[in-house]
Amino acid sequence: METIDIRELNERIERQSVFVTNLVTGIEQVIIGQKHLVESLLIGLLSNGHVLLEGVPGLAKTKAIKTLASLIDAQFSRIQFTPDLLPADVIGTMIYSQKDGSFQVKKGPVFSNFVLADEINRAPAKVQSALLEAMQERQVTISTNTYELPKPFLVLATQNPIEQEGTYPLPEAQVDRFMLKVVIDYPKIEEEKKIIRQNIDNDSINIRPIMSLEEIEAARKVVKDVYIDEKIEQYIADIVFATRYPEKYNLKDLKGLISFGGSPRASINLALTSRAYAFIKHRGYVIPEDVRTVAYDVLRHRIGLTYEAEASNVTSEEIISKILNKVEVP
C-alpha cells in the first residue's frame, strides 16, 4: 500500500516542483556556475530558513540574491553593514511629525521579503542582535508596538572570510540562527571565461518575475509533504549525536577536537533542508544522499572547535566528513 502512496506522492511532487527548474534557469542567465550557491538559496527559500554566505569579494553572492528576488515578485532590500550602523537603521524608529504633533513609525529596510545583510560582520553586536531577533521571531518591536514581518521573510547575509581587522564576528549562538552557512569558492576556469565574455559584451539581462509570493507559500506547503522515513530520521539523529558524543560512534579521536556539538536545531534543520533538497531534485521522498549533501552547510557553523583542533588546523568540514564516513547509512 505504502509503495503506491509513495509513487503517487512522487508524481505529485514532480509536477509541483517544475517551477524550481524555471527559477534555476532564470538565475543561470545572470550567474555563471555557482550551482551550490543557487541550490542553497532555493533550499533556504523553500524551508523558510535564513542563509549565511561566506566567500571572498566578487563571487556574485549579492548578485545571486538580487536575481532570485527579481525572479519572484517580492520586496527586496539591501543593508550594507558598517561600524557606525544603528539598530534603528535596520528595524526602523519613531519619528516626530510636526504636522499633527505625534510620533509615527518609520519602518526600516528589514520590512521586506528578501533582506540582504551585506557584510554582516562589519556592524557592532547591537545591530547584529536587532537583525537576529527579527530573524528568529519574524517580528519587530518599535517603541511599544510589535509589527509582523512580511511573508515570506528571508535574510541572506554575506561575510568576508579575509580581512578580520575591525570586524565583529558573529558569536556561535547567533550564527546558529542561520539554517545554512554556505562557503562559496572560486569559479572553474571554463566558467571564468564565460564570466569575462558576459561582462565585456556588457549584455544587460532584463529579469522579469516568474513567480508570485503566493506561489512560494504554496510550494512551501508542498515541501512539507515530502516523505521522511523513520530510518532517515534515525540517520539524522545519529549524525548530530556523533557531533556531541563521538566516542559512542567509534570516533574517539574527535573527542578532543569538538568543544560542543550540534543542538536540536541542527537535527531539525537537517530534516527540513533534506526535504527541500529532495523537492528541488523533483523527488517525493528523502534518501540518505540528500542528508549527506546538506550536512556540511547545516553543521559547519554548529560544531565548536577546541583550541587543540585550531592549533592542529582541523576544520569543522573535516570533522563532518569523518562523521559521515563512520555513521551507518540506512
List, for residues 112-167, the tens digit of each pLDDT value: 999 999 888 888 888 888 888 888 889 998 888 889 999 889 999 988 877 666 67
In this prediction, residue 1 carries a pLDDT of 34
Q: What is the residue whose three cell numbers read 557592532?
A: 124
pLDDT tens figures, 230-246: 999 999 999 999 999 99
Tell whether omega for the bond before 152 is within 30 degrees of 0, i.e. cis. yes
What's the pLDDT at 166?
A: 65
As assigned by CATH, the class of the 12-201+211-216 domain is alpha beta
Where do the CATH 1.10.8.80 domains begin and end in the chain? 228-326
Confidence of residue 14 (pLDDT cuts 50, 70, 90): confident
- List, for residues 25-37, the tens digit of each pLDDT value: 888 888 888 888 8
Letter string b/e over residues 257-279, b meaning 16 or more CB atoms within 10 A of that residue's CB: bbeebbeeebbebbbbbbbbbbb
Percent over 70 (pLDDT), the chain? 97
Q: What pLDDT score was predicted for residue 213?
A: 86
Confidence of residue 299 (pLDDT cuts 50, 70, 90): very high
Sequence-distant (≥ 6) Cβ neighbours of residue 17 within 8 angstroms: 219, 222, 279, 280, 282
Q: What pLDDT digit, counting tens, does each position of 18-72 carry?
A: 888 888 888 888 888 888 888 999 999 999 999 999 888 878 888 888 888 888 8
Judge whether 154 and 112 are in contact, CB under 8 Å. Answer: no
CATH superfamily, with its number, for domain 228-326: Magnesium chelatase subunit I, C-Terminal domain (1.10.8.80)
> Is residue 3 pLDDT above 60, yes or no?
no
% of the chain at pLDDT higher than 90: 30
Residue ranges, comma separated, of all CATH 3.40.50.300 domains in the chain are 12-201+211-216
For residue 87, count other CB atoms closer than 10 A to its CB: 18
**What is the phi-psi region of residue 250: left when phi exceeds 0, alpha when psi lies from -120 to 50, beta otherwise?**
left
Q: What is the pLDDT of residues 243-287, one digit of tens each?
A: 999 999 888 888 889 998 898 999 999 999 999 999 999 888 999
